[in-house]
Amino acid sequence: MKEAPKKINVVPFPELRQDPVSGDWILISQKRSLRPDQFEGEEEREIFPKKDCPFEDPQASGNGPFMIRIPADTRKEWTMQLIPNKYPAVSTYGKTSIEKYGPYQVAAAIGYHDVLITRDHFNNFPKLSPADAFNVFKVFQERYLQVARDRRIAYVSIFHNWGPKAGASIFHPHYQIISIPVIPSDVAHSLAGSTRFMKKNHRCVHCDLISFERKEKKRIIFENESAVAFTPFVSREPLEFRVFPKKHLPYFEDTPDKEMKLVVQVLHKSLSLFEKKFRNVDYNFFIHTAPIKNKRKYGHYHWHIEIQPKINISAGFELSTGIEITALDPNEAAMVIRGKKK
Ligand SMILES: [Zn+2]
Ligand SMILES: [Zn+2]
């Protein structure tokens, strides 16, 4: 049952806002007629039948053997398993040397492309038990530490696509890890921005953002003693939010279990709240962390998780300028996701 549509207060601007980390500008421009429930759309999520699902028995469907399994004891039923992607975007073999091709530079796309499958066909991340949600992140960490030993790898991208609009080609909930020999440009901007801020202010930019958001309280979705979720003041998508460990932790892979459990709890709780309101909205979440290459150079970085619902369609203005137009005030977004006033 859908609740009766509620009109929300319209913010008294279009306003340009600059992200202090990436330097990117965005434009908050809320339509007068907008109701947050419009983001849900009319379409119900399509459920792919379990009997045809290739992830019910990954090995019987032609996938490779698992690399990590929980529980490790194979006499017991698996709850999650990490396998090599059947159609990898990168290749495990090759050198990282860059070659010239006319005016261009090319290199072999070496790396690893892994898929983590959780057992239940219907239980996406917010529906996992807290223990399984934590185990998903423990597998991420374990695999991260394995690939970090390969000296060719510069960065490990860990992400989840939920729903076809977010790029999931298989319905069954799964998570991906792609390890690559270069530092990707978005991460490079984030690293450069945090370095710039540190040089100027002698503080971590993300620690500053966290303390500002916790003081303002307007955009907080959920927090516990060790982690916090909020909609960024500079949101690129309506309903976008981020999860940060409160403690300054640069390296995802080195985060102690005690902190990780509480970070995962905040992600799990926030996505449950999100799904209660917007169960048919597809989304991606991904981790941003200090890279493997020159690891110790980035002690001022602060790892976090970004959750981006698939709502915006990039049109001419976005494509020609890189400025995203966000149609919902992040203050309203946090309030709608929390499901209660204040
Ligand atoms: Zn399935
Ligand atoms: Zn920090």
Q: What's the confidence (pLDDT) of residue 11? A: 60
Residue 125 CA to ligand 1 center (angstroms) comes to 14
Protein residues within 5 Å, CB atom, of ion ligand 1: 53, 55-56, 121, 172
Output the CA 123–ligand 1 centroid distance in Å: 10
* Distance from Cα 274 to the centre of ligand 1, integer Å: 23
Closest by CA position to 28, among listed 278, 238, 212, 334: 238
Name the superfamily (CATH) of residues 14-338: HIT-like (3.30.428.10)
Comparing 38 with 10, which gets the higher pLDDT?
A: 38
How many whole angstroms from 118 Cα to the centroid of ligand 1?
Answer: 9
- Does the pLDDT of residue 19 top 70, yes or no? yes
Give pLDDT, residue 107.
85
> How far apart (Å, rounded) are the C-alpha atoms in residues 28 and 80?
40
Half-sphere exposure of 126 (CA within 13 A, CB side): 15
Residue 12 banded pLDDT, cuts 50, 70, 90: low
Average pLDDT in the chain: 92
CA angle 3, 168, 284 (to 5 degrees): 60
Domain ranges within the chain, ordered by starting residue: 14-338
Among 89, 58, 283, residue whose Cα is nearest residue 168 = 283
Stated pTM of the model: 0.93
Which ligand is in closest contact with the Cα of 248?
Answer: 2
Give me 58's structure tokens: 């990954």
The CA 121 to ligand 1 mean position distance, Å, reads 4
Q: Is the pLDDT of residue 342 over 60?
A: no
Does the pLDDT value for residue 18 go beyond 60? yes
Query: pLDDT tens-digit profile of 277-303?
Result: 999 999 999 999 999 988 889 999 999
Give the Å distance between the CA of 50 and the centre of ligand 1.
Answer: 5
pLDDT confidence tier of residue 199, bands split at 50, 70 and 90: very high
Residue 19 CA to ligand 1 centre (angstroms): 39
**Residues of 93-115 as b/e, b for ≥16 C-beta within 10 angstroms?**
eeebeeeeeeeeeeebebbbbbb
User: 30 CA distance to ligand 1 centroid (A)?
Assistant: 39
pLDDT at 4 over 60: no
Q: How far apart are CA 112 and CA 118, in angstroms?
A: 19
Whole-angstrom Cα distance, residue 182 to residue 156? 10
Whether the pLDDT of residue 314 is over 90: the answer is: no
pLDDT of 303: 97
Q: How far is the CA of 288 from the centre of ligand 2 (A)?
A: 13
Mean pLDDT of 150-167: 95
Distance 53 CA to ligand 1 centre (A): 5
Ligand at shortest distance from the CA of 171: 1
Cα of 209 vs centre of ligand 2, distance in Å, is: 9
Quote the Cα angle for 20-303-294, to 5°. 95
Q: Above 70 in pLDDT, residue 160?
A: yes
77-135 confidence digits (pLDDT tens) = 999 999 999 999 998 888 778 889 999 988 889 999 999 999 999 999 999 999 999 99
pLDDT at position 228: 98
pLDDT of 6? 53
Which ligand ends up closest to the CA of 209? 2
Q: Quick one: what percent of the chain has pLDDT higher than 90? A: 76
**CA–CA separation, 238 vs 28, rounded Å?**
9
Q: What average pLDDT does this structure show over 192-210? A: 96
